[in-house]
Chain A
Amino acid sequence: MTSDNDRRRGLLARLRGRPVARSRGRRRLGAAVRLFAALMLAGGAYTVFAPGAQAQDNPPMSAAAGEGKALFDVSCVTCHGRNAQGVEGRGPSLIGVGSAAVEFQVSSGRMPMARQEAQAMRKPPAFTDEQVRQLGQYIQELGGGPQVPEGNNLHQNADLAAGGELFRINCSQCHAFGGGGGALSSGKYAPSLHPASDRQIYAAMLSGPQNMPVFGDNQLRPEQKADIIAYIQENLKHTQDQGGFNLGRYGPSTEGLAAFLIGIVALVFASLWIAGKS
């Protein structure tokens, strides 16, 4: 039994030589003290090394995000679900979409959607800029994600020509050469860029809304995004057309229509008139 006890004793005890017989109560007390000390040590080490603040269950939200959550719980929760986790068959999860997506969808009036259809349409926005910012802040604090830089003019000192080239390579396939938009399959479409603000274009490139691909900062660097925005805002939107009325800039289809509706109609009337002169 003693040899058995000997073998079972720890290294320190063996070094100290034969143990002094202790009372059962003392042994119990010592075990409790050691356990407490070990727990204190482990807990203390954990509190020192672990990322303490974020580990809490319900981090306090900023005031703006709190406002945003209140708006969300009234206007968005039906489709995007509690805590923006999404509802099967109604709306996707918004975890990780970032404030860029919120800003694009809500400030352009696309969200809240009027009904489920191929694609959300641009409408007069339902929220003020401040409310959009609060909603964005809420989603941002909920799951993180891309954010649009500060400021309303995002194309200062940008290179128009470089923007034009990038626009033709990356954007004109869907939004067309004049930024007027174009059709996609099954009722989807690339919308016209003419009503879009700098921030909305930037947010769209960052978040890739609906059918648009994401142009993250490793595909188009922020200064290239600024170039594209400059080309859209300064050239496609603000330039008066050099050749006169642009017929909607829809390409040869409206030009052909005009050739008949204006040219041929005018000339047929002219021939009626001149043949009637006798």
Chain B
Amino acid sequence: MKRRKFDVAAVPAKTAGALDDRFQAATPLRKLLNKVFPDHWSFLLGEIALFSFVVLLLTGVFLTFFFEPAMTEVVYNGSYAPLRGTPMSAAYASSLNLSFDVRGGLVMRQMHHWAALLFMASIVVHMLRVFFTGAFRKPRETNWVIGSLLFWVGFLAGFTGYSLPDDALSGTGLRIASGIMLSIPVIGSWVTSSIFGGEFPGAILISRAFIAHVLLIPGLLVALISVHLGLVFKQKHTQWPGPGRTNENVVGERMFPRYALKQGGFFMLVFGVIALMGGLFQINPIWYFGPYEAWTVSAASQPDWYVMFLDGSTRLMPAWEINIPIGDGYVIPPIFWPTVVLPGILVGISLLYPFLEARQLKDYKHHNLLQRPRDVPARTAAGAMAVAFFLVLTLTGANDVIADKFHISLNAMTWAGRIGLLIVPPLAYYVAYRMCLGLQQHDREVLAHGVETGIIKRLPDGRFVEVHQPLTAAADDGHGELDYVGWVVPKKMNRLGALGPAIRGFFYPIERPAEAPVSPGHPPVEARPEREEITSGESRR
């Protein structure tokens, strides 16, 4: 029998050719694979959120296989002895079984919870990056709005998930949530009784929270994330200014192979960090909290960190009750202001910020280049103010733990929070503003006078001066003629090639250090590779 010759090396090409013959995929695919993404570490912060979300979906699906979202009363008889024989809801019993009797259940639950905390944390960190670099400006306002909504939808996802195990901590949180809803004027009692199916806690809430947590909210999140990423794709990523980078081009790496491989690697890293945290650090030990009963409240009952600022605002709010003498009398309880009005204002400001800023600066142009925080002191300072506000509230949300562990009076903590909430944000604004101006000033100084060489020269008249290396030929007055363009200014001699490049490597050198230069005139620096613009066949507009 004659053996047919089979050329393995030709298989991919032949298969691809066959596919292209049928589906005409090559042209759009080439465009896709050649799409260029700017590369900077700070552009990866949003990916942390995306990849945590993927981990959340994977671990969450596992958890649904074993969780029973019901409030029917059962008597626990699992392997955790200190709760055996205790009456509790089926939801709590199944969470305990998930933790102690399902193989790998506890690590999955902990990974899910850590991933949730990291999801919210990376959303905030990503949001700060976008804010401080001005990446939200036209044409990307929509994406900013979607991103802000993602935070609040994630907030809801987190809160419903926190409520599901039906341990005492969940119940305490739900009781507070029901109190917040009840405080809304006019509609409060209807909202609460609709959600809880009657008086708190009712018998239906866990099932409702479950379906919201596993179907409605994730669906919304997936939809919003898809639009978010689609818009990044369509509008293209912003980039830092720099040599060869303009408002009209995109400089970076091709989608394939490099960018895709990096992203794949980064996903593994995110997954690894979450898995390590899930395996090493205990989170939400529901078995200590016990089943929820109205009379069981533990000290240090806090919400997860992204809700803690609301807890803090509630702790700081003075007990100002507004009595409205209409009919039988009507009361707006003090909890309404810090937990309904304040988040309402925060959502409003965060959604509208791009439009407010454009209006203020009368800036309606397209912006594809980022700004360094120091170059827009007012925005940076406003951001610092917002962060300070959030931090004061979040720390206050944990003020009983801080008071106890650092031996401070709880009353003093509360008053420090009240005063701090008014004083720290303006202070942060001022400090950030001055820091921006100072950093700008130093950049301008280097542009004008050159880089400090560290060489002290004594003049004939006895004065000492430091020799500066000008960045350009000096004009008549001894000052250079370089414009301030809002990008990195070299401030060390080795950045100018005078001392040889810095040794590469993170913890240890990954290459032999270059020989010390013979003289500053002959630095052993290789010429920089030529930069060329990669086009993907379409322009920005």
Contact = CB atoms under 8 A, between A and B. Distances in A.
A181 B404 contact: yes
A28 B52 CA distance: 114
Given A183-B403, A262-B277, A176 B299 contact: yes
B308 A253 contact: yes
Contact of B266 (A165, A176, A255, A270): A270
Given A246-B285, A251-B302, A263 B277 contact: yes
B82 A231 contact: yes
A118 B409 contact: yes
Interface of A: 118, 160-161, 163-165, 168-169, 172-178, 180-187, 189-190, 231, 234-236, 241-247, 249-260, 262-264, 266-268, 270-278
A172 B121 contact: no
Contact of B117 (A189, A263, A271, A277): A263
B155 interface: no
B298 A252 contact: no
Interface stretch (B9-17, B178-186, B193-201, B286-294): B286-294
Nearest to B43: A275
A252 B45 CA distance: 23
Given A235-B82, A249-B288, A259-B118, A190 B299 contact: yes
A264 B168 contact: no
How extensive is the interface on chain B, given as a class? Answer: 35 or more
Contacts of B408: 187
Given A118-B409, A161-B81, A245 B282 contact: yes
B299 A244 contact: no
A266 B273 contact: yes
Nearest to B45: A271
Given A161-B81, A173-B297, A256-B305, A187 B409 contact: yes
B74 interface: no
B494 interface: no
Given A173-B297, A182-B404, A264 B122 contact: yes
A195 to B, nearest CB: 15
B398 interface: yes
Interface in B397-447: 397-401, 403-405, 407-412
B298 A176 contact: yes
A55 to B, nearest CB: 49
B299 A175 contact: yes
Interface stretch (B83-91, B135-143, B369-377): B83-91
6 contacts: A176-B300, A183-B404, A185-B411, A252-B303, A255-B117, A278-B39
Contacts of A244: 110, 279-282
A276 B302 contact: no
A163 B83 CA distance: 10
Contacts of A263: 114, 117-118, 121, 273-274, 277
Given A181-B404, A184-B410, A185-B409, 19 more contacts: A160-B81, A160-B82, A161-B84, A161-B85, A168-B290, A176-B299, A177-B168, A177-B169, A177-B290, A177-B300, A185-B410, A189-B403, A242-B285, A242-B287, A243-B106, A244-B279, A257-B305, A259-B118, A262-B277
B404 to A, nearest CB: 4
A243 B411 contact: no
Contact of B298 (A172, A234, A271, A275): A172
A118 B403 CA distance: 13
B270 interface: yes
B285 A241 contact: yes
A258 B273 CA distance: 12
A257 B117 CA distance: 10
Given A164-B86, A173-B299, A175-B299, A182 B266 contact: no
Given A242-B100, A243-B283, A267 B82 contact: no
A106 B60 CA distance: 52
Contact of B305 (A243, A249, A259): A259
Given A252-B305, A253-B300, A164 B83 contact: yes
B260 to A, nearest CB: 13
B121 A259 contact: yes
A47 B253 CA distance: 110
Interface string B261-276: 0100110011001100
B296 interface: yes
Contacts of A249: 285, 288
Q: Which of B83, B253, B288, B411 is packed against the most chain A CB atoms within 10 Å?
A: B288
Given A161-B85, A174-B299, A177-B289, A275 B401 contact: no
Nearest to A187: B409
B299 A183 contact: yes
B44 A256 contact: no
A253 B401 contact: yes
Nearest to B48: A267
